[in-house]
Amino acid sequence: MPVVAVVGAQWGDEGKGKVVDLYARHADVVARWSGGANAGHTLVVGDERIVLHLLPSGALHPQATIVLGQGMVIDPDALLAEIDALDARGGFRLDRLVVSERAHVVLPHHVALDRLRERGTSALGTTRRGIGPAYEDRVGRRGVRMGDLLRPERLAARIDAAIAWWRPMLEAAGEPLPDRDAVLERCASWAKRLGPYVGDASHLLAEAIAADRRVLLEGAQGTMLDVDAGSYPYVTSASVGAAGIPTGLGIAPLRPDRIVGVCKAYTTRVGAGPMPTELDEPLGSRLREAGGEYGATTGRPRRCGWLDVPVLRRAVRVNGLDAFAVTKLDVLTGLDPLRLCVAYEWDGQRLEEPPFDDLDRVRPVYETLPGWHEPLGACRRLDELPAAARRYLERIGELVGRPVTLVGVGAERDDVLGTTDPFTSANRASTRRSGDAL
């Protein structure tokens, strides 16, 4: 049962797209279990920069079946734009994509509500893609699922119920109510184009797993944005961690053979909320420019800071991470010395993990390490890295108690060193916790 999951270990934007793109070369199926078009996975292929918001990064590998799971919320226009873009690159085979009939649809009123709230004083800095309101309609039992698009006779009542629910809020804000007939018309055109992709993803995945096919599960966002494990309320509205896999894919709870956590060699965050290791100027801007730290979905500048190990410890524990992929190590070139936040001080105590609610009151405890000045882009083996870069990685591994098995050293898809086929050792449970470092 070679099932490998890739999970964000920070506040999203860790470079999961690049890791999945490498791993997906060896996969038969690549599936996403949560989130929607709030995600933005950037891939650099030659001169091309490809940004995917809904399709898993594995979509670029033609041998892989790609699955959008039932835990996702899907903006049909965004999905169609991605399918068209991939089609223009060289033909997109219809039988490659399965969109779960149970995934929820992001409707125009979700986007309107998200934007409306972001104008208010309690703005969270969302991506304004309608994600929160779509998940609210899901748990409020008035959502529209992808499969409902194909059953117009039931659709009108669902849409009426959702509009009726949100009417007071929209009216109070002086926002126009969605025009039910216009929404129904859009649903009909989505059904026509997306209908052939909508299917029973739950069975497909169960069969793939039972048949020992190589299944890669692609996380979106990161653990600190998980609705339960993250820095609530500054989180997204989904279970983005590994715990969301079974419900988000409609499969029986399983322990993937390997769960790889992805983190940058430093920390970034977009949107509001506390970030203990955030850097002051001018260092913050320096990191932002060196790393191109602008949102792939919204273009917003990302907040930048030193690597926060307590956050990674949380990710290890709640996701059961086996190993780490550390991306963008090259961005730290020239920053000397480097600092690593190894713990927090809070209320006279030393904390190894983020506290329940006081992330804005903790003081980072830093360790200082020497930096390096050599460019890393050409390094393909650990022993080609400068000694200080090796030491930095080693120290991360020691502090999180997990091996670092993949390291990103540049923007191109192959600018990496380490294990790029996670399936080879996926069945050897004994290597999970100890071996397999670079």
Closest approach of Cβ 338 to ligand IMP, in Å?
23
Binding-site string for ligand IMP from residue 91 to residue 130, where x marks contact by CB under 6 A and - marks none: ---------------------------------xxxx-x-
Who contacts 34 (Cβ-Cβ below 8 Å, separation ≥6)? 69, 71, 72, 219, 220, 221, 238, 239, 240, 244, 248
Report, as residue numbers or ranges, the catalytic residues.
13, 41
Total residue count of the chain as it appears in this document: 438
CB 236 within 8 A of CB 227: yes
Task: Pick from 34, 57, 70, 236 the residue near ligand IMP by CB under 6 A.
Answer: 236
CB 418 within 8 A of CB 404: yes
Site map 347..386 versus ligand IMP, x via CB under 6 A: ----------------------------------------
By CB under 6 A, tell whether 34 contacts ligand IMP: no
How far lies 82's CA from each of 6, 54, 264, 281, in Å? 22, 8, 26, 37
Window contacting ligand IMP (CB under 6 A); options: 34-42, 76-84, 90-98, 207-215: 34-42
Segment interacting with ligand IMP (CB under 6 A) among 90-98, 152-160, 230-238, 321-329 = 230-238
Residue 270 token pair: 């977009």
Q: Whole-number minimum distance, CB 423 to ligand IMP, in Å? A: 26
By CB under 6 A, is residue 223 in contact with ligand IMP? no
Taking a C-beta distance cutoff of 8 angstroms, is the pair 19, 262 a contact?
A: yes
| Contact by Cβ (8 Å): 216, 12 | no
Q: Is 362 left (phi over 0), alpha (psi -120 to 50) or beta?
A: beta
Binding segment for ligand IMP (CB under 6 A), chosen from 32-40, 196-204, 355-363, 379-387, is: 32-40
Question: How many residues form the binding site for ligand IMP (CB under 6 A)?
Answer: 20
Q: How far apart are CA 265 and CA 141, in angstroms?
A: 41
Residue 139's H or E segment, with its range, is helix 131-139
One residue of 99, 106, 208, 225 binding ligand IMP per CB under 6 A: 225
Taking the complex as a whole, the smallest distance from the CB of residue 255 to ligand IMP amounts, in Å, to 25
The pattern of x and - marking residues 269 through 308 that bind ligand IMP according to CB under 6 A reads: -xx-------------------------------------
Q: How far is the CB of 290 from ligand IMP (least distance, A)?
A: 19
Q: Does 5 bind ligand IMP (CB under 6 A)?
A: no
Least separation in angstroms between residue 126's CB and ligand IMP is: 3
State the nearest-atom distance from the C-beta of 129 to ligand IMP, in Å.
Answer: 5
Sign (positive or negative) of CA dihedral 395, 396, 402, 406? negative
Q: State the minimum distance, in angstroms, from the CB of residue 128 to ligand IMP.
A: 7
Instruction: Show the tokens assigned to 218.
Output: 């692609």
Q: Which residue in the set 22, 39, 72, 162 belongs to the binding site for ligand IMP (CB under 6 A)?
A: 39
Q: Which residues pair with 369 in a beta bridge?
A: 338
3-state secondary structure 281-293: CCHHHHHHHHHCC
- Distance in Å, CB of 55 to ligand IMP, minimum: 14
Secondary structure, 3-state, 207-230: HHHHCCCCEEEECCCCHHHCCCCC
Which residues does residue 329 pair with via DSSP β-bridges, in sequence order? Answer: none
- The residue with its CB nearest to ligand IMP is 271
Considering the rule CB under 6 A, would residue 221 count as an interface residue with ligand IMP? yes
**131 vs 417, beta carbon nearer ligand IMP:** 131
CB 97 within 8 A of CB 83: yes
Of 311, 223, 298, 228, residue with least CA distance to 266? 311
Interface pick for ligand IMP out of 2, 17, 40, 422 (rule CB under 6 A):
40
Cα 250 from chain centre = 19
Q: Which of 10, 34, 38, 327 binds ligand IMP (CB under 6 A)?
A: 38
Whether 69 and 103 have beta carbons less than 8 Å apart is answered as: yes
Interface contacts to ligand IMP, rule CB under 6 A: 11-13, 38-40, 124-127, 129, 131-132, 221, 225, 234, 236-237, 270-271
